[in-house]
Amino acid sequence: MPPGPALAAALRATTLEVARATGRYDAVVVGAGAAGSMAALLLTEAGLRVLVLDAGMVRSPIRSFSRRLSRGLTRRLLGTAALAALDRRRQWIQTQCYAHPFAPDAFVDDLDCPYVTPADRPFVWLRVRGLGGRLHIPAHGRQYYRLGPDDLAPADGLSPPWPLQSGELDPWYALAEHRLGLAGRRDNVPWLPDSELSIVLEPTPIEAALQRSISARWAGARPLLGRFAVPPDFLEAAAQTGRLLVRRGAIAREIEVDGSGRVRGVVWIDQQSGTEQRACAPLVFLCASALESTRLLLLSRSPRSPAGLGATSGALGRYLMDHIRLVANGKGPPLPPEPPPEQGRCLYLPRFDARDLSMPGQSRGFGVQVSEVFADAGASDFSAASYGEMLPRPENSVMLDPKLRDAWGIPVLRIDCRYSPTELLRAREQSTALRELADAVGVTLTEIAEAPDPPGIANHECGTARMGDDPAKSVLDPYNECWDARGLYVTDGACFPSQGSQNPTLTILALTARACDHAFRSARG
C-alpha cells in the first residue's frame, strides 16, 4: 500500500538528523506492523510526538521498477515455476508462505536475515519488513476474533491465566474493532465473544447453504460468518495529527536502560548509511513482531540484566507457540454464478473439535475457516484451514546463536520448537475433521494434510516474553510494561501467555491500545 499524503510527508521530514535529535519526540515505537502502527496512532492522538523506527528497506524507484520488470520477464519467458525457483535462491523460507507470490519483496531475504534451528525440528519463521508489516500483505486473511473467558483463564491449569480481570479487555477489543471497521454478525456463541461491528453482514445464498449443511450434520457446530476488515491505515491517520515521524530502513538492535532501570532509548542501524544511531525517549513501544521483539530483549544486556531485559524471570525466550495448521482443498458441486467474494469473507467454525456437542468439553481445541466459491459451470472451489491451539511449553524456545550474525552484524536467533504428542494427536483430529467437513458439504478433496505444517507456517507465532502478575515468572507486567525496564512496553504476540485457537491480531491490537492508555496515564502521574 503506497503511503498516503500525510505519511509521505512524515517520511520526508524524518531525515537522519531529525531521527537522532534528542528532544524532537516523546516516544519511540519499534516496528510499524499491526502493533506498532496502532501504538503510533493512539500515542500521537494522545498528544505525544512519536518516532517510528521500521526495518523495512528503502528501495529506489529505479531498483523497484527494474526488479518488477525482470520478474515479469522471467514469468513470461520461463514460466511461474522458474520464477519460484529463482525466488527460492534467496527466500527459501519465505517462499513457504502462501502469500509470498503476491508481495515477494515485502518478505525478508533469508540470506540477509538468517536464523538457526535443529536439523530435525524445522520452524518456518515468516517475516515481513515494511510499513504495515504483515497486515498489508495482499493475500492477508483479514480475520479478527476475540479470545473468550476460557481462553484467558484456562480451566485445565495447563497454562497460566492471563493477568487480566474478567471482562477487562472488552473495551480495548471494542476500540480495536471500531478502528478496524469490522464486518460480521452478532452470533451469541458462549465460547467466542461477539465483537463490536461497523458492518453487519447477511449470508450470501452460497454461505447460507453451506451453513445449513454443516448445522444439519452436527448439533454442536456453529458455522458463523467470518469477522473481517480491510487493512487499516493507522500510520496515515497518525501522521495526520502532525506529531508523527517515521524512519524506514531503521533496524533496531538494542534497547537502552539507565542505571535506575528506566528505558532510555533505542540503538538502531541506519540501512542507508550503514551507521549506528541512537533514538532517546522516556517511552519505548517494542512492536517488531513476537520473535524479533524477543530477539531485541535478548540483545539488550546491561549490568542489571546481563542475559537480556526480562531474563531474570527465566521466561524470556521460552513458551513459544504457533497454531497447529492443516489445510484442505477440493471441488464441490456446481454453484450459481456469483462474483468472487470480498477478500476475508469466509465461514468460521469456532471450536470445531466440539462439533458433536453443544459446548466444548475440553479447554483446548481448534477452529476452521472455510469457503466455497463459484469456480465454473462444472464445479465450485472449496478450501478450509484448521488452526489448533498449541500449549506454551518452556522447551519451545529461542535464544541468541553464539556465532551467526545477520547482514547487519546482529546476532541471530536459534529457534527450537516442536509439537508435543498431544498436539500431534490433535493434528490428526483436525485432519479427520476436515475430511468430515468436506463430506458433509458434498466436496471431493483434491488435497488434504495428514500431518501439520511445521510450526511457524501458521504465521500466528506468539509467546517468548509473556505477561504475568509475578516478575519471577514473566517478562512483562499486566500492562505489557517490562518488569526490568520501566517505560518499555512490548505489545506484539511475544506477550501472550497462551493463544486460544483464534487468530491473534485482534488481541495484539487490544493489548496495544490498553498499554498506550497505561503509558499515557503513567506519564501524567
Report the interface residues with ligand FAD, using CB under 6 A: 30-36, 53-56, 97, 99, 126, 128-130, 133-135, 137, 139-143, 250-252, 287-289, 292, 459-460, 492-493, 503-505, 508
The Cα 221–Cα 69 span in angstroms is 48
Toward ligand FAD, which CB reaches closer, 159 or 501? 501
**Closest CB 329 distance from ligand FAD, rounded Å:** 16
Q: Do 499 and 390 form a contact (C-beta atoms < 8 A)? A: yes
Toward ligand FAD, which CB reaches closer, 331 or 414? 414
Toward ligand FAD, which CB reaches closer, 277 or 503? 503
Going by C-alpha positions, the residue among 496, 219, 209, 503 that lies closest to residue 367 is: 503
**Closest CB 360 distance from ligand FAD, rounded Å:** 21
Looking at 79-217, list the stretches that DSSP marks H as alpha helix, in order from N- to C-terminal side.
Answer: 80-90, 149-152, 170-180, 205-217
Toward ligand FAD, which CB reaches closer, 371 or 505? 505
The Cα 337–Cα 332 span in angstroms is 14
User: Number of helices (H) and strands (E), helices first, in the chain?
Assistant: 12, 19
Beta strands in 350-458 (DSSP E): 366-376, 379-388, 397-405, 411-416, 444-448
Three-state SS at 9 = helix
The Cα diameter of the chain in Å comes to 71
409: left (phi over 0), alpha (psi -120 to 50) or beta: left
The Cα 448–Cα 440 span in angstroms is 15
**Closest CB 376 distance from ligand FAD, rounded Å:** 26
Give me the residue whose beta carbon is nearest to ligand FAD: 33
The Cα 311–Cα 231 span in angstroms is 35
The Cα 413–Cα 295 span in angstroms is 7
**Closest CB 138 distance from ligand FAD, rounded Å:** 9
**Closest CB 32 distance from ligand FAD, rounded Å:** 5
**Closest CB 134 distance from ligand FAD, rounded Å:** 3
**Closest CB 363 distance from ligand FAD, rounded Å:** 21
**Closest CB 148 distance from ligand FAD, rounded Å:** 15
Q: Which residue has the cell 505489557?
A: 480
Toward ligand FAD, which CB reaches closer, 71 or 345? 345
Toward ligand FAD, which CB reaches closer, 46 or 508? 508
Toward ligand FAD, which CB reaches closer, 269 or 335? 269
What are the residues whose beta carbons fall under 8 Å from the beta carbon of 508, sequence distance 6 or more? 34, 35, 491, 492, 493
Q: Do 433 and 214 form a contact (C-beta atoms < 8 A)? A: no
Toward ligand FAD, which CB reaches closer, 129 or 414? 129
Give the Å distances, CA to CA, from 226 to 139, 141, 305, 357, 405.
Answer: 16, 10, 44, 21, 41
**Closest CB 466 distance from ligand FAD, rounded Å:** 15
**Can you give 238-260 as a three-state secondary structure string?**
HHCCCCEEEEECEEEEEEEECCC
**Closest CB 406 distance from ligand FAD, rounded Å:** 9
**Closest CB 366 distance from ligand FAD, rounded Å:** 15
Give the Å distances, CA to CA, from 294 to 106, 149, 316, 397, 415.
Answer: 21, 27, 7, 11, 12
**Closest CB 462 distance from ligand FAD, rounded Å:** 8
Toward ligand FAD, which CB reaches closer, 108 or 257? 108
The Cα 340–Cα 191 span in angstroms is 31
Toward ligand FAD, which CB reaches closer, 33 or 463? 33
Q: What is the DSSP string of 267-317?
A: EEEETTTTEEEEEE-SEEEE-S-HHHHHHHHHH---SS-TT-TTGGGS-TT
Toward ligand FAD, which CB reaches closer, 142 or 414? 142
Toward ligand FAD, which CB reaches closer, 137 or 443? 137
What are the residues whose beta carbons fall under 8 Å from the beta carbon of 165, sequence distance 6 or more? none
